[in-house]
Amino acid sequence: MKRKALVLALAALGMTSIGSLALAAETPDTIAARQKIFGFENVDPKTGQVDREKVVFSWLGHMSGAVSMGGRIFMLDTYVPRLEVAPGRTPFVIKDLVDLKPEAAFVGHGHSDHADNAVFIAAKTGATLYMTPEACQTAQKALARMKSDAFMQADPFYSIPEGTSINCVGTTTTGSVPGTEVIKIDKLEPVACVVAFRALHSVSVDVDEDWGPQIVVDTPDPRDPQLFPPGVPLTPASPRQPGQQDLRQGSGPGGADELNFQFIMRGAHNFTLFFNNSVGALKEGVGSNWPNGTPADGQRLLDLIRSLPPTDLAFSTLSSGNTDFNGWRDHVYMAQALRPKIMTTGHAPIGAALQYYAGFLNELKVMELPKNAWPGFPRAEWPIVRNHTDPTDVLKPEVFDINDSAWLNPHKASTIRQFCG
């Protein structure tokens, strides 16, 4: 992609001073929540400050993660599968995410399995939400619904005062073409620069003749319900049980409008974290949010991804509507362009994480060598893949020393200047 053709929208979205981190100790509840989520060894037991020399990533299930980057705490998506009234299979409850006190949540798209809980967390903590403008419209509708929910208003913890507002920042222009706007978000400055752009949501396309049909049938472990018996779900059904509350995003615009984010630390070796909670048919250039796309749309996105600062850690989906016909082909396209050092995964169906992990590794092998227009993806360039299995990997902090020479890459400097100034 010709860089001059790229629209760089340098939006100063919420500058924060690093000095504010040390103003006062956090409450006992916040200290406890941060120790639970990020690990006792990474959190100061007196102040609640998370180690500023580390990036700590803690998987919350599905495609949600809690991150401390240089001591700044934020979330990637907010939905938690099998979130219950009391800890059970999921070893935390919604109060823990509120007590965590994230300053922001970056939501890849507005579907319920990514955006649920976001509005409630923002209303209770003041966290800024970063979504597409379309998804922000739906979030504001969800806030109004929660305020009028008699069950919520009768509970001291869940009630949301009438005057409460949320700050949902519409990221990229409404209806814009994927890969044509790159937004610089200043929320985590001076610790980190954040880059966001529209991408493609997964979609099913015809069988790729290069690789042939690769039909994936989800086969969750049938023992899962017996191994991990369900508790009382937080989301109510009928009749409503004690403690249940409706924290869903709800229907509305922006459901499939996909955002990708890259977080680039300033200083040390510029550790980078990339987040995508969906991946479209990049070869064809189409997604469920961009059904009439062309191969040129996919190529533009791949070129943009290749032009980003080199990625150290990618938190990436292993799910796709295209596994029905093409297996994990789209995920390999994404990984080949991004080339992260480490790829940590999510979005596999409950009980089927090992199937998805094995499927992705097999797809890497299938697509290792060049074929027709595919340039190949040599084994030496594959990421280290760290698979997540629910529930055994929930709240198992992954810790990265920002001063580790593994993150040193001379190619970062020029690209950071391009995207972050």
User: pLDDT of the chain along its 421 residues, tens only?
Assistant: 334 344 444 334 433 333 344 457 999 999 999 999 999 999 999 999 999 999 999 999 999 999 999 999 999 999 999 999 999 999 999 999 999 999 999 999 999 999 999 999 999 999 999 999 999 999 999 999 999 999 999 999 999 999 999 999 999 999 999 999 999 999 999 999 999 999 999 999 999 999 999 999 999 999 999 999 999 999 999 899 999 999 999 999 999 999 999 999 999 999 999 999 999 999 999 999 999 999 999 999 999 999 999 999 999 999 999 999 999 999 999 999 999 999 999 999 999 999 999 999 999 999 999 999 999 999 999 999 999 999 999 999 999 999 999 999 999 999 999 999 9
**CA nearest 187: which of 166, 167, 165, 164?**
167
Query: Up-side HSE of residue 110: CA atoms within 13 Å toward CB?
Result: 29
Which pair of structure tokens corresponds to residue 57? 């990533």
Rounded Cα distance between 354 and 343, Å, is 15
pLDDT digits (tens, 9 = 90+) for 235-266: 999 899 999 999 999 999 999 999 999 999 99
For residue 128, what are the β-bridge partners? 104
Q: How far apart are the first and last CA of the chain?
A: 20
Residue 334 DSSP code? H
Which pair of structure tokens corresponds to residue 14? 């919420």
Rounded Cα distance between 92 and 97, Å, is 8
Rounded Cα distance between 81 and 100, Å, is 18
Rounded Cα distance between 25 and 188, Å, is 20
Which amino acid, 362? N
**CA nearest 223: which of 352, 62, 81?**
352
Are 346 and 357 within 8 A, CB to CB? no
Class in CATH terms, 3-233+257-420: alpha beta
- pLDDT attached to residue 24: 76
Rounded Cα distance between 47 and 71, Å, is 12
Q: In 219-367, which residue ranges form alpha helices assigned H by DSSP?
A: 224-227, 295-307, 323-326, 329-338, 353-366
